[in-house]
Structure 1
Amino acid sequence: MWCIGTITGEYLANLEDVLDVYSAPAAAGVVRLCFDERPCQLLDHVLTPLPPKPNATQKEHQEYVRKGVCNVLLAYNIDTGQRHLQVTTTKNKGDYARFMDWLVQTHYPEAAKIQLVQDNYSTHTYGAFYEHLPLETARYLRHTLEFHYTPKHGSWLNMAEIEFAALSRQCLDQRIATQQRLEQEALAWQAKRNAAATKVNWSFTTEKARDKLKNRYAELTKITDEIKLSEH
């Protein structure tokens, strides 16, 4: 399910930019990644769950204890079906910058260019690199990473959202009390999904967007024409 909200020229420009990244053929030396990050609530049991009976699910007491929040950062390679994640205590520019440095240096050190689809959250900027990494590292990342922002209220365009949905269903649908255990569970999920090279089957294209949103395109064109007329 997706929501487009208010259509503006910037919205359409970002929408088409992201869709064009997805639909382009894979190119030598170019890596295409989708990135997102999400806070995860840590929860513990008030009472120890009863051991499950055969062929039955474990029963949990409805009450729980909040144990804080941690943050999951995830990048998904649309060409190889590999995902790379880390779990951090906080969600800030430093965490973002260090994750990107680790991502590039560990997994894609030979990439000539990395096209990175992400939302326009305030920490997702080149400036974060210069504020939290050595100057030469920041400069290298700025030249290697090519940012492609999803539109405001257009997070449904980010394939990393689909990966987070799978992570929530397949791994985080349980009470996890510590960041260490959440990281263990998330990395085990990642390993299993990577071994299968599970890919997102994305079929929405710029052409389909123009057809489905043709009335919105027309409205925007009409507004633009009216502005031009008022200027004469």
Structure 2
Amino acid sequence: MWCIPPKQNAAFVCAMERVLEVYKRPFDPDYPVVCMDETSVQCVREGRPRVPGKPGQIERYDVEYERNGVAHLIQFYAPFRGWRRIEVADNHAAPQWAEGVRALVEKDFPDARRITLVMDNLSTHTGASLYKAFEPQVARALLDKLEFVYTPSARLSPFEGLYKGREITTYEESSSTKKRFFRWADYLPTSCRL
């Protein structure tokens, strides 16, 4: 994918140069670079059962499906470590983003001195969202371990384009908690309609 900057757009160039400088930093486990992005995908349920494959014949499924809601995916990934975490949320709300950032700092990289978080400048991607979700001392402690770097355009995110045009075929819901669960295998090409 190409993202052509608007002509004479100093803001775009400034933000892009900042992102490129971050990506040129030498690897340091104390200062990980983590990219973050969000996208929504339509969930579908098969209309008819699949016909399993046999030797010499591929699995078959019908084009008919039932709409099964929308899942909001939040992905954190460290491109220089080969690490990622994907969460499923109900919406783009600030508290859900804040919980993901808290897990990043406290569980995923608890020993990091500072985490550089590269993301688009969606209105929820700010320190204020941490203050909305947590007590001030928790929000401040999280911010002390974070450096926010904003991309000049959401179109530069690899995650945005990854699932566009694909529909998820399975969508599990626990009857006891009504919490949605995500299985990475559901996003592989064999489980997605292209």
TM surpasses 0.5:
yes
**Band the TM-score falls in, shorter-chain normalisation:** 0.7 to 0.9
CA distance in 2, matches of 1:28, 1:49: 45
Is the 1:97–1:129 Cα contact (8 Å) retained in structure 2?
A: yes
In structure 1, the partner of 2:4 is 4
| Structure with greater strand share of residues | 2
Cα offset for 1:162?
A: 5.5
CA distance in 2, matches of 1:23, 1:179: 42
In structure 2, the partner of 1:177 is 171
Alpha-carbon displacement from aligned partner over 1:71-117 (angstroms, at most 9, x marks no partner): 11111113311112211222211110001001111011121111111
Taking structure 2 as the reference length, the TM-score comes to 0.82
* Compared CA separation, residues 19 and 40, structure 1 to 2 (3 A): same
Taking structure 1 as the reference length, the TM-score comes to 0.69
In structure 1, the partner of 2:125 is 124
**Structure 1 stretches of at least 4 aligned residues deviating more than 3 Å after TM superposition:** none
Cα offset for 1:173?
A: 6.6
| Structure with greater helix share of residues | 1
* Compared CA separation, residues 18 and 78, structure 1 to 2 (3 A): same
Is the 2:72–2:88 Cα contact (8 Å) retained in structure 1?
A: yes
In structure 2, the partner of 1:53 is 54
CA distance in 2, matches of 1:188, 1:141: 32
Q: Which protein is bigger by CA-based radius of gyration?
A: 1
Is the 1:85–1:187 Cα contact (8 Å) retained in structure 2?
A: no
Root mean square deviation, CA, Å? 2.7
Aligned length, in residue pairs: 181
Tell me which of the two structures has the higher relative contact order, counting C-alpha pairs closer than 8 angstroms and 6 or more residues apart: 1
CA distance in 1, matches of 2:135, 2:41: 29
CA distance in 1, matches of 2:123, 2:182: 29
Match of 2:184 among 183, 186, 200: 186
